Amino acid sequence: MATIRPFKAVRPVPEKAADVAALPYDVYNREEAAAAVYGKYDSFLRVDRPESTLDHRMNMYDPFVYEQAAKNLQKLYDRRVIAQDETPSLYLYELVMDGRSQVGLVACTAIDEYLDNTIKKHELTREDKEQDRIKHVDACNANTGPIFLTYRGQEDINGIIAETMKNKPVVDFTADDGVIHRVWVIDNEETIGRLVEDFKKVGNFYIADGHHRCASAVKVGLMRREERPDYTGDEEFNYFLSVLFPDEQLAIMDYNRVVKDLNGLTADAFIEALEKQFDVEEKGTEPVHPPAKGTFGMFLEGKWYLLTAKEGTYAADDPVGSLDVAILQNNILIPILGIEDIRTDKRIDFVGGIRGLGELERRVGEDMKVAFSMYPTAISELMAIADADLLMPPKSTWFEPKLRSGLFIHNLD
Determine contact, residues 15/376, Cβ cutoff 8 Å.
Answer: no
pLDDT digits (tens, 9 = 90+) for 100-109: 999 999 999 9
Residues of the chain with CATH 3.30.1760: 255-375
User: Tell me, what's the pLDDT at 42?
Assistant: 97
Query: Strand runs (DSSP E) across 123-170, as ranges?
Result: 142-143, 147-151
Determine contact, residues 274/177, Cβ cutoff 8 Å.
Answer: no
User: Tell me, what's the pLDDT at 125?
Assistant: 87
User: Tell me, what's the pLDDT at 138?
Assistant: 97
Q: Does the pLDDT at position 315 exceed 90?
A: no
Q: Does the pLDDT at position 27 exceed 90?
A: no
User: Tell me, what's the pLDDT at 192?
Assistant: 98
Residue 346 binned pLDDT confidence (cut-offs 50, 70, 90): very high
User: Tell me, what's the pLDDT at 340?
Assistant: 86
Scored b (16 or more CB within 10 A) or e, 42-75 reads bbbbbbbbbbbbeeeeeeeeeeebbebbbbbbee
Determine contact, residues 400/24, Cβ cutoff 8 Å.
Answer: no
Instruction: Output the CATH code of domain 255-375.
Output: 3.30.1760
Q: Does the pLDDT at position 317 exceed 90?
A: no
User: Tell me, what's the pLDDT at 344?
Assistant: 87
pLDDT digits (tens, 9 = 90+) for 131-174: 999 999 999 999 999 999 999 999 999 999 999 999 999 999 99
pLDDT digits (tens, 9 = 90+) for 364-389: 999 999 999 999 999 999 999 999 99
- Percentage of the chain modeled with pLDDT above 90: 93
Q: Does the pLDDT at position 255 exceed 90?
A: yes
pLDDT digits (tens, 9 = 90+) for 78-111: 999 999 999 999 999 999 999 999 999 999 999 9
Q: Does the pLDDT at position 126 exceed 90?
A: no
Helix, strand and coil percent figures for the chain, each rounded to 5: 35, 25, 40
Instruction: Work out the mean pLDDT of the chain and round it to a whole number.
Output: 96
Residue 1 binned pLDDT confidence (cut-offs 50, 70, 90): confident
pLDDT digits (tens, 9 = 90+) for 220-246: 999 999 999 999 999 999 999 999 999
Least Cα distance to 250 among 374, 376, 350, 385 occurs for 376
SS3 at position 412: coil
* DSSP tag of 12: E
User: Tell me, what's the pLDDT at 199?
Assistant: 97
